[in-house]
Amino acid sequence: MGTGDSYLTYRHRLPIRAVEGDRALVKASRSGDDGACIVKAIVAMAHGLKLEIVAEGVETDGQLEYLRSLGCHQVQGFFYGPARPAVEISRALGTTRAKAASF
């Protein structure tokens, strides 16, 4: 353990409402016990702190189901499709203006 500040130090000072799981963590969660253990710990910590959980990089049905089973609130990734410009998404949804997601 070091003496420097960490992300968790700022939890009570900043209006953090969500934790975002990196694509590498999502991938590691299915590749072995260590990866799964880290992801489970992050999700448990986020639940304990009453934070939303967003998992990045979901590419397969297996990853999606695993993250759902852990209680992830939101996922994003190529499982749903590639990234698109906001204007294109607005048109596809039939809206006139894209709204920013708030966490």
Secondary element (H or E) of residue 74: strand 74-75
Location of structure tokens 């953090």: 16
pLDDT of residue 103: 37
Output DSSP code: residue 92: H
Tally of domains in the chain: 1
Domain containing residue 21: CATH number: 3.40.50
Q: Is residue 30 part of a domain?
A: yes
Residue 7: inside a domain: no
CB atoms within 10 A of CB 59: 14
Residue 6 belongs to some domain of the structure: no
The amino acid present at 23, given as its one-letter code, is: R
**In this structure, is residue 100 part of a structural domain?**
no
Query: Which pLDDT tens digits describe the chain residue by residue (103 residues)?
Result: 445 556 667 667 778 888 888 888 788 777 667 878 888 888 898 899 889 999 999 999 988 998 999 999 899 899 988 888 888 888 888 865 545 544 3
Structural domain of residue 62, as residue ranges? 16-93
